[in-house]
Structure 1
Amino acid sequence: MTQPAVPRIQLNDGFSIPQLGFGVFKVDPNETERIVSDALEVGYRHIDTARIYGNEAGVGRAVADSGLPREELFITTKLWNDDQGTQSAFDAFDASLDRLGLDYVDLYLIHWPAPANDRYVETWRAFEQIRESGRVRSIGVSNFLAPHLERLIDETGTVPAVDQIELHPQHQQPETAAFAEAHDIAIQAWGPLGQGKYPLLELPEVTDAASTHDVTPAQVVIRWHLQRGHILFPKSNRRERMAENFDVFGFELTSAEVDAITALEREVRVSSHPDEMN
């Protein structure tokens, strides 16, 4: 079966990233190898994990067993809050790389700013050195708001390649997104379907579009993200749902449908506020 060509987003450092990927947040470490193997067989080439998920080793085994050329894959992992600092960041990165069984990762992120600890700028300088070593291609952040991004850039001069933030139609973070766009920082949307905590997939703006295009509500929301220029990585433990989430390149939402879904903004966050997650 010929796999659809997933669009790639050009990053500010010259590398590019597949716009649609697969996430393993809350995926059981004992099931990760099977689940990621299924995702790779479906066609995903961008896998997003993190140290705190506890499943980097399973991702690494699936990658090793896939037989896919390394250059076809895009692997992201993240530094957890208690590893922020200089030497601690170096050590944490080495450990992640070892668990993944890789020579390099494509993207390494500071998972949260943890502002009360006041170590994210120091950590970012360590990230610059890791990138210079050639063991990571792109460096970025996750859950950073505009003030965190501004301080990072002002104090180091290095602009993150991406900011991975909670983003779905009912929580679009316009201030952060606008800052990112102004500084050529790509936006990655985690929780792109709202993680089921709000009836997003039952709203008429979504279900009407799904009916019109003969697709599922989840496919509509994924398509909305793609047309808005977001990078995203929905997750599922079920192969049939993985395939469904990947089958979003055969239709396009109208501008009116995109606008109607965009108008669903309610500022409803499903996770912790970045200023309070330390």
Structure 2
Amino acid sequence: MSIPRLGLGTFRLKGQTVIDSVRNALDVGYRAVDTAQIYDNEAEVGQAIAESGVPREELFLTTKVWISRFRRDELLASLRESLDKLRTDHVDLALIHWPSPNGEVPMAEYLGALAEVQRQGLARQIGMSNFTIALTRQAIDILGADAIATNQVEVHPYLQNRALLQFLRGQGIHVTAYMSLAYGEVLKEPVIQEIAQRHGATPAQVALAWALQQGFAVIPSSTRRENLASNLEALRLTLDEQDMARIATLDRGQRLANPAGIAPDWD
């Protein structure tokens, strides 16, 4: 089952805010929702989905296992807890959120447990997030590249992550780009604004289309219904070679997701 090209991210959204975001997103046409155990909003996401009236089989639901639940039995138990909160018997994609810091839990243990999650039908697909080239090589040795549905990593015009993305492409591993708008910073970028004006588009649509045209899935978040609807229009925007080349010059290695004590040694 392929990963939808554009879904709703829910990072930093809690309580009624995330309920409203999910409800509005589903109402305007989204059918993919991305959450995580550490976001502390799975129950609210589940509530919004249940109240939306959208059939479960039409949705693609992703959650991510937090680093404190990586031991085999803990990981399996944590996925079942996530499913209870999400009011479903399976997620479409279960990811390891970050590699185990300093290898505290062996990768073979937590990826083996994730594979067991899939065998038990708790997740239809599995993958990881924030894995470097070296860590992805280890994951391939454990699972095989074909078993890895995606590596969800930070990608936006200010952090283009070329070495990692080229490696993943060579291994046939799909990329899900998060923080595609860099917390809104790229929306202020004159190059992005000029391209948007020329296409009659918004800067957000340009930044998302840039990622989509490279084959990545994107999961932007928004608390405003009009922005949710507008972001969907990125699927219909085609940038030309000159646009893509100009955006390529914006890379400045600006990483936003880099938690101390958790983040790996980046490529």
Is the Cα–Cα contact under 8 Å of residues 65 and 75 in structure 2 kept in the other structure?
Answer: yes
Question: Cα deviations across residues 20-74 of structure 1 (Å, max 9, x unaligned)?
Answer: 0000000022322222011100111000000100110111111111222222100
What corresponds to 1:176 in structure 2?
164
Is structure 2 residue 133 aligned with structure 1 residue 150? no
Is structure 2 residue 259 aligned with structure 1 residue 275? no
What corresponds to 2:122 in structure 1?
135
What corresponds to 2:30 in structure 1?
44
Q: TM-score, normalised by structure 2?
A: 0.93
Tell me the distance in 2 between the aligned counterparts of 1:219 and 1:23: 16
Q: TM-score, normalised by structure 1?
A: 0.90
Question: Cα deviations across residues 129-164 of structure 1 (Å, max 9, x unaligned)?
Answer: 110111210000000011001011123435411000
Is the Cα–Cα contact under 8 Å of residues 21 and 46 in structure 1 kept in the other structure?
Answer: yes
Name the count of aligned residue pairs.
261
* Structure 1 range deviating more: 148-157 or 161-170: 148-157
Tell me the distance in 2 between the aligned counterparts of 1:179 and 1:118: 25
Tell me the distance in 1 between the aligned counterparts of 2:232 and 2:28: 8
Give the SS at the match of 2:235: coil
CA drift at 1:179: 1.6
Sequence identity, in percent?
Answer: 38
Is the Cα–Cα contact under 8 Å of residues 188 and 231 in structure 1 kept in the other structure?
Answer: yes
Which of 107, 115, 118 is 1:120 aligned to?
A: 107
Which of 162, 166, 172 is 2:150 aligned to?
A: 162
Which of 148, 165, 185 is 2:173 aligned to?
A: 185
Give the SS at the match of 2:3: strand
Question: Cα deviations across residues 103-128 of structure 1 (Å, max 9, x unaligned)?
Answer: 11000000000341243331000011
Question: Cα deviations across residues 229-267 of structure 1 (Å, max 9, x unaligned)?
Answer: 110011011111111111223431111101111221111
Which of 194, 198, 209 is 2:182 aligned to?
A: 194
What does residue range 8-87 of structure 1 map to in structure 2 within 5 Å? 15-87=1-73
Any unmatched runs of 5+ in structure 1? 1-14
Give the SS at the match of 1:103: coil
Tell me the distance in 1 between the aligned counterparts of 2:236 and 2:161: 28
Question: Cα deviations across residues 209-232 of structure 1 (Å, max 9, x unaligned)?
Answer: 111011111111111111111100
What corresponds to 1:3 in structure 2?
none
Tell me the distance in 1 between the aligned counterparts of 2:53 and 2:264: 42
Amino acid in the other structure paired with 2:237: F
Tell me the distance in 1 between the aligned counterparts of 2:58 and 2:215: 21
Amino acid in the other structure paired with 2:62: T
What does residue range 231-250 of structure 1 map to in structure 2 within 5 Å? 231-250=217-236
Tell me the distance in 2 between the aligned counterparts of 1:157 and 1:242: 36
* Structure 1 range deviating more: 36-45 or 202-211: 202-211
CA drift at 1:276: 6.3
Question: Considering only aligned residues, what root-mean-square deviation do their CA atoms show, in Å?
Answer: 1.6
Tell me the distance in 1 between the aligned counterparts of 2:26 and 2:85: 19
Any unmatched runs of 5+ in structure 2? none
Instruction: List 4+ stretches of structure 1 deviating above 6 A.
Output: none
Tell me the distance in 1 between the aligned counterparts of 2:197 and 2:238: 13
Give the SS at the match of 1:272: coil
Is the Cα–Cα contact under 8 Å of residues 29 and 54 in structure 1 kept in the other structure?
Answer: no
Give the SS at the match of 1:264: coil
Tell me the distance in 2 between the aligned counterparts of 1:127 and 1:114: 13
